[in-house]
Chains A and B, each alone.
Chain A
């Protein structure tokens, strides 16, 4: 294949944003009939590369050759006309319109002067049939699964002229069988000779679908590898740029072996000695209409409680009740043995509880505030409006956490929205660390961030836990839940269906409880 002429060649692409060199002299090539993954941590330059290719940003220097001819796409529409089709992470379609309308309207000019419904329906059916999808195209798009909506987006983006299909994290909101469905479509398109550029955070999927992998790091090209020549470990090492233990520190097992929970730092594990007799927080019969029912939980200082369960099982709802975002209608919460009515987040914060929410963008960071302001915000609310932190003190706090957590930012006055996802998540952790919490609730703290940031974040949290902080760790990744907890509470259908010691558990044990109740 290497003698063949690539469909697309990007040579020496550089792009600078204020304060960041997003890409420097990156080469990339794409052959017909291959799936090529671009891997890298957050901030590696993947998105920038795609945006240069699709004409969202012009490159500062470098050339793009499509089938040997130099192109300068000036907008995504322009790129589409040149044969570069893109399907973005979020499905950018109209859920209330029919499948046929979503696929056909505005796609080419043929509906500009009146719609012929029959023709449009047949066209949509034909386009979907190319992807081996057969559905009723007159039904609204929202009546189908996200996976099918993705296929519609693909069908819409492809045209006779398409040479390249860019799939930007298409699987991030798909269930496993839906991923399979999507991949069969991808393979079919590949067989038809389309060049496919695939971006994902999931390492397993990369290995499953790709022919070649290009790795980027800090805006630099690390290398291009045939997938057969690369092991998982090698890929991760190249993305991170240093050796890491895959998955980071495991909690329960390290305890068992009498080892520190972290490889780095050499902080001795406090082990069970740090657990005090009364739990820091205990909830019994906790419930609320439309939320969870009858949940009993206990977390002790120095202990990490995992909450596992499938999507919609009530994991996040528990966190919302404990943090006072929703008010509990039934049950009681005891904090350090005393009854506590937690009716608002600020009451939870005053009791020493912190909460990193699931949706970082909507519930976590305040994008237009600076990194400094985002970090000191929770500490400031804990102190109250009138005990203002001086500017100097704020800068001290911010810079100390930026250093301790390795947050990569031009300076602390940058709007936090300009930081990568992993760095934003670190800043949120810093926000709560600054309040010196007794208990930290983490809801999907590792979602959508790169491996290195994930390991760093969990190392910090586990270190705090060893120093006596209680942790509630919520994640959809069952192996992560088991790894980062001492005990796992298992949720199903908005009820707690069991609890298991992590040292005895693996993800299968958790799934077994979900499938059959308490073992």
Chain B
């Protein structure tokens, strides 16, 4: 007898229902990675309180992953429309450059540093510029009709130039300490950046699931013609989705520049777009558009950061870390494919039938 292709039936009913959930596989992957880390380092899960702040590997992973989590969420919406935005790394650099320039980089040796503009202006200014660049992508894709990868490639290349133009080719060091709260500070013992992540997730999840926006985005990603024929304003939704993606990259830019206390037009957010795409895919959103999960992308970003942290903590030699990372990503991606999953489930079924 040929093994049925839908081997999932071998699994008990309640578990099967959980496995159907889009979020199940990313969460399972993350759990496995964390357990592996725990096995190699018994103190991996330890969280201590120092100076009233939480410290520990888990807190560190969450904190370091926050720019990636935010970018991945914005990118999820773009990918759901069957688009892609590879300029997010460049927008991170631009946002960082604008913030640093608005603060001003003069070192003050005595007394508190006085920024050129007040902090709210700095933050809003950087975010506005990032959103504008997102809108630029949106115009190219939705109005001009350019292919998303080409449209955002333009900004990927030009963006770093723009960032250097803003900082006049210098790496601007930031001395204004209130700004450090964003990427380095703690509130109620928890890293401030996690509050930002939570806020972005809450706002986007509300827009996606408590309004019809999520459904419309999925419809556009799955069948743009039918979506238009049903009255969905595909152009304007696509435009705004790219704008929001730019905004998310802008927020990440603030966190990154605050964390490293400087703005480097050449290196801030470098290759972040690739990690972000990976996070979205690991999270269970298909690159071909349609159904998406914001939470999945957050988990995807955590998987990537956990992997990086684990590789270092296990003590893999730095020259092979990238290879190890690639291997794990490869395995996880393979496990995400339906075909392989069905094979595994079918194998399980044969195993059950044998005794």
Contacts and interface: CB of A to CB of B under 8 A. Distances in A.
Interface in A325-370: 325, 344-346, 348-349, 355, 357, 362-369
A386 B215 CA distance: 12
Given A373-B215, A385-B212, A362 B231 contact: no
A388 B226 contact: no
Nearest to B215: A373
A382 interface: yes
Interface in A377-394: 377-378, 380-389
Interface-centre pick from B228, B230, B232, B233 (highest chain A CB count, 10 A): B230
Nearest to B224: A366
A346 to B, nearest CB: 4
B231 A388 contact: no
Nearest to A72: B2
B231 A367 contact: no
A363 B228 CA distance: 8
Given A366-B219, A388-B211, A431 B230 contact: yes
Interface in B43-91: none
Contacts of B216: 380-381, 385
Contact of B226 (A18, A363, A380, A387): A363
A252 B216 CA distance: 40
A406 B222 CA distance: 26
A364 B223 CA distance: 9
A368 B222 contact: yes
A58 interface: yes
A381 B227 CA distance: 10
A323 B229 CA distance: 9
B230 A388 contact: no
Interface residues of B, number: 24
A316 to B, nearest CB: 12
A18 B290 contact: no
Contact of A362 (B210, B213, B219, B226): B226
Contacts of B35: none
B223 A380 contact: no
Interface in A442-484: none
A368 B233 CA distance: 19
A386 B216 CA distance: 11
A388 B207 CA distance: 10
Contacts of B218: 369
B229 A367 contact: no
B229 A58 contact: no
Contact of B2 (A58, A345, A349, A378): A58
B160 interface: no
Nearest to B232: A381
Interface in B198-253: 210-213, 215-216, 218-219, 222-223, 225-233, 237
Contacts of B213: 385
Contacts of B291: 368
Contacts of A386: 211-212
A381 B211 contact: no
B18 interface: no
A123 B215 CA distance: 54
Contacts of B11: none
Contact of A366 (B6, B227, B231, B233): B227
Contact of B223 (A58, A355, A362): A362
A515 to B, nearest CB: 33
Given A373-B215, A385-B216, A386-B211, A363 B229 contact: yes
A366 B212 contact: no
B230 A367 contact: no
Nearest to A345: B231
A491 B226 CA distance: 26
Given A345-B229, A345-B231, A381-B232, A388 B222 contact: no
B5 to A, nearest CB: 9
A166 to B, nearest CB: 23
Given A58-B2, A344-B233, A381-B232, A365 B211 contact: no
Nearest to A350: B231
Interface in A23-59: 58
Contacts of A325: 228-229
A385 B227 contact: no
Contact of A367 (B210, B212, B222): B222
Contacts of A365: 223, 226
B211 A369 contact: no
A366 B228 contact: no
B160 to A, nearest CB: 35
Nearest to B288: A368
A389 B212 contact: yes
A17 to B, nearest CB: 9
A320 to B, nearest CB: 10
B217 to A, nearest CB: 10
Given A58-B2, A366-B219, A373-B215, A382 B226 contact: no
Given A367-B223, A368-B222, A381 B230 contact: yes
Contacts of B212: 380-381, 383-389
Interface string B165-208: 00000000000000000000000000000000000000000000
B225 A369 contact: no
B290 A368 contact: yes
A12 to B, nearest CB: 16
B223 A346 contact: no
Interface in B304-335: none
B225 to A, nearest CB: 5
A378 B211 contact: no
A357 B231 CA distance: 13
A365 B219 CA distance: 10
Contacts of B237: 385
A382 B219 contact: no
Interface string A472-511: 0000000000000000000000000000000000000000
B239 to A, nearest CB: 13
A365 B231 CA distance: 13
B229 A377 contact: no
A377 B2 contact: no
Contacts of B223: 362, 365-367
A346 B231 CA distance: 4
B1 to A, nearest CB: 10
A271 to B, nearest CB: 32
B219 A377 contact: yes
Contacts of A388: 210-212
A463 B324 CA distance: 66
B211 to A, nearest CB: 5
Interface in B129-149: none
Contacts of A381: 212, 216, 230-232
B230 A369 contact: no
A387 B212 CA distance: 8
Contacts of B290: 368
B228 A369 contact: no
Contacts of A344: 231, 233
Contacts of B219: 366, 369, 373, 377
B290 to A, nearest CB: 5
20 contacts: A18-B6, A58-B2, A325-B228, A344-B233, A345-B229, A345-B230, A355-B229, A365-B226, A366-B219, A366-B223, A366-B226, A377-B232, A378-B231, A381-B230, A385-B212, A385-B216, A385-B237, A386-B211, A386-B212, A388-B210
Q: What are the 9 tightest A-B residue pairs by CB atom distance, in nearest-first order?
A: A381-B231, A346-B231, A349-B231, A366-B223, A345-B231, A380-B212, A377-B230, A363-B229, A368-B222
Given A362-B225, A381-B231, A385-B212, 19 more contacts: A58-B2, A323-B229, A325-B229, A345-B228, A346-B231, A364-B229, A365-B223, A368-B291, A369-B219, A377-B232, A378-B231, A380-B212, A380-B216, A383-B212, A384-B212, A385-B211, A385-B213, A387-B212, A389-B212
